[in-house]
Amino acid sequence: MCGIVGYIGSEQAAPILLEGLKMLEYRGYDSAGVSVHDGCRLNVIKAKGRLQALSDMIDGGKAVCGACGIGHTRWATHGKPSDENSHPQVSNSGNIAVVHNGIIENYLQLKDFLSSRGVKFHSETDTEVVAQLVDYYYEGDLLKAVHKAIDRIEGSYALGIMAADQPDKIVGVRKDSPLIVACSENGNFLASDVTAVLKHTRDVIYLDDGNYAVLSLKGVEIYDSFLRPIDKKISHVDWDISSAEKGGYEHFMFKEIMEQPEVIRKTIAPRIRNKKIVLDEINLSSDFIKSLSKIYIVACGSSYHVGMVAKYNIEKLTRKPVEVALASEFRYCSPIVDNKTLVVCISQSGTTADTIAALREAKRLGGRVLSIVNVVGSTIAKESDDVIYTWAGPEIAVATTKAYSTQLAVTYLLGIYLADCLGTIDKDEYERFLNEIMTIPDKVESILKGKGHIQYLASLYFNNQDIFFIGRNIDYALSLEGSLKLKEISYIHSEAYAAGELKHGTISLVEDGTLVIAVATYQKLLEKTISNIVEVKARDAQVLSLTTESGKPLVGQVSDNMIVIPDIDELFLPSLAVVPLQLFAYYVALMRGCDIDKPRNLAKSVTVE
């Protein structure tokens, strides 16, 4: 969603702010702005639309003088995308400029309070109250004024704040929204995401909730919520800037699809040692595992779809009940959680507001929370009892691919690990699973080599208006992901159904030429799925099937076209089957001329409820 960059140093600030904002574009936004102090005054320039529009207005930053500034990309929540609603938001007097990620929940009360004291508002945003409130308390000490304002603010925020009469200071503060600071030879930085500063330094400090940072030419000072100075650990980001760049590919999404063999290997290989799964990052005692009454998996979007696969697999492996819940529903459905419940939160970003809220609710109810997270040091990682990181590296395309695949890989490891501890699988099965899991990267690689065929299939179907996905068991979970991938980047209407469910209503939408993508990899239910394929064929649907080498002879007889993946133990089929679905969505979107890496209305990390 929104992005923040702040800079103070020896260089001109505006080009550095634009460059940092460019690195945050992937998060999704609809307007952008910067505020730079030229030594006399704060210059604020904002524009609705792409960052390029802002950059053109200020000649790539050259037209704005000054070495201290803040910048922002906004994803609209309160008030439509417009120049007025863009950040920085400035107070009436023009003295305070603010960039903000998150939501100020009590902004209407604060607006009433300030209005009754004569403050005039100019935007529809919640952020403007922060600028006005800081100005209201301002008596020459910016940090103190921000502290007083924060005392009255409810909600989530990462804030960057400047004052017109303090040309060499930026104050940052956070709660429930990420914010980092970093120092380099040519200046000091504030940002909502490390990618914004990677060109300058890889040593960063992750601020915690309630921390304040004061950036000046001298360096960065950090304070706790009582404004007592504190020391914070410097973390070294060990992935390279090239991981966050396209590296010759046309789109991040395609690059990330192609990276999957490598990141799956990175996620699995270090955790299998001497023919054993070693999860030494977690601390689940065998007594706790044996006492488990239930496992809850909580996540949103594609991460939820990983949870759907995990439910089928972990239940089968452990014989413990596994419930999957959408994080946005979990906390409002009176979940049954106690100290015998393991709650598994899955999140790429680690900052998804609904998943954070679900995690807190699970802990409040006494559950133990284990998270599967990609972004190191993110809120979900920090607040969980245990974390297993997915080593996918930075995922820039809005539509997830490599993070999804590494999440799947971790759920396999976790399921087998729990089953081994519970004694629900025997030694031979355990060994066979470990041998099979190690074959995933090479098999994914072989599927990627066949991408030309999938591109051809996309050329047959990219003009379809509606596309249905059907499948049973893990193939149903995969259908949900295939359908989401397709609709989010190509804007084709698509739905996914459990294959046996279609005839209970939705089959009425199937008519001559409707494309049905049948995911038929799960050998045990192949014949059942084939019956469902035949039902849609009888209504003149076009059927594109996705099956395995073993399924090919039967599935081929009822399909118009087919994608065939290698055989693998059924537990791990989703890791292979998802790849053609990702490629199909990608090529269809490409042929339709869509903005693949930044689909309309979507944001990479959804930090609002």
Q: Which is nearer to ligand F6R, 29 or 136 (CB)?
A: 29
Annotated active-site residue 40? The verdict is no
Site string for ligand F6R, 488-507 (x = CB under 6 A): x-------------------
* CA atoms 421, 326, 395, 17: torsion sign: negative
Decide if residue 529 touches ligand F6R (CB under 6 A): no
Q: Which is nearer to ligand F6R, 493 or 552 (CB)?
A: 493
Distances in whole angstroms, Cα of residue 47 to Cα of each of 13, 24, 29, 445: 18, 16, 12, 43
User: Which residue among the candidates 2, 68, 300, 594 is catalytic per the annotation?
Assistant: 2
Decide if residue 31 touches ligand F6R (CB under 6 A): no
Distance in Å, CB of 155 to ligand F6R, minimum? 20
Distance in Å, CB of 488 to ligand F6R, minimum? 6
Decide if residue 349 touches ligand F6R (CB under 6 A): yes
Decide if residue 393 touches ligand F6R (CB under 6 A): no
Region binding ligand F6R by CB under 6 A among candidate stretches 14-22, 56-64, 296-304, 425-433: 296-304
Q: Where are the alpha helices (DSSP H) in 91-204?
A: 107-115, 127-137, 142-152
Q: Which is nearer to ligand F6R, 301 or 393 (CB)?
A: 301
Alpha-carbon torsion, ordered 569, 311, 381, 326, to 10 deg: 140
Rounded to an integer, what distance in angstroms lies between the CA atom of residue 208 and that of residue 402? Answer: 28
Residues facing 345 on adjacent strands:
298, 371
Region binding ligand F6R by CB under 6 A among candidate stretches 52-60, 165-173, 193-201, 349-357: 349-357
Decide if residue 301 touches ligand F6R (CB under 6 A): yes
Among 197, 300, 358, 454, binds ligand F6R (CB under 6 A): 300
Instruction: Answer for the pair 100, 157: CB distance below 8 angstroms, yes or no.
Output: yes
Among 86, 355, 379, 521, binds ligand F6R (CB under 6 A): 355
Decide if residue 260 touches ligand F6R (CB under 6 A): no
Q: Which is nearer to ligand F6R, 76 or 484 (CB)?
A: 484
Using alpha carbons, select from 346, 400, 447, 374 the residue that is nearest to residue 585: 400
Using alpha carbons, select from 178, 160, 180, 179 the residue that is nearest to residue 170: 160
Q: Is 219 exposed, middle or buried (0-12, 13-18, 19+ CB in 10 A)?
A: exposed
Decide if residue 267 touches ligand F6R (CB under 6 A): no
Q: How many chain residues interact with ligand F6R (CB under 6 A)? A: 15
Distances in whole angstroms, Cα of residue 367 to Cα of each of 46, 124, 286, 309, 378: 46, 40, 16, 22, 20
Decide if residue 192 touches ligand F6R (CB under 6 A): no
User: Which residue among the candidates 169, 255, 485, 604 is catalytic per the annotation?
Assistant: 604
The number of angstroms, rounded, from the C-alpha of 332 to the middle of its chain's C-alpha atoms is 22
Chain positions 447 to 486 lying near ligand F6R, rule: CB under 6 A, are: 484
In one-letter notation, the amino acid at residue 152 is: R
92: left (phi over 0), alpha (psi -120 to 50) or beta: alpha
Distance in Å, CB of 356 to ligand F6R, minimum? 9
Site string for ligand F6R, 400-429 (x = CB under 6 A): x-----------------------------
The structure tokens 């906004």 sit at 74
Instruction: Answer for the pair 199, 172: CB distance below 8 angstroms, yes or no.
Output: no
Annotated active-site residue 604? The verdict is yes
Rounded to an integer, what distance in angstroms lies between the CA atom of residue 399 and that of residue 521? Answer: 24
Q: What residues are labeled active site?
A: 2, 604
The binding site for ligand F6R (CB under 6 A) comprises 300-303, 347-349, 352, 355, 399-400, 484, 488, 605-606
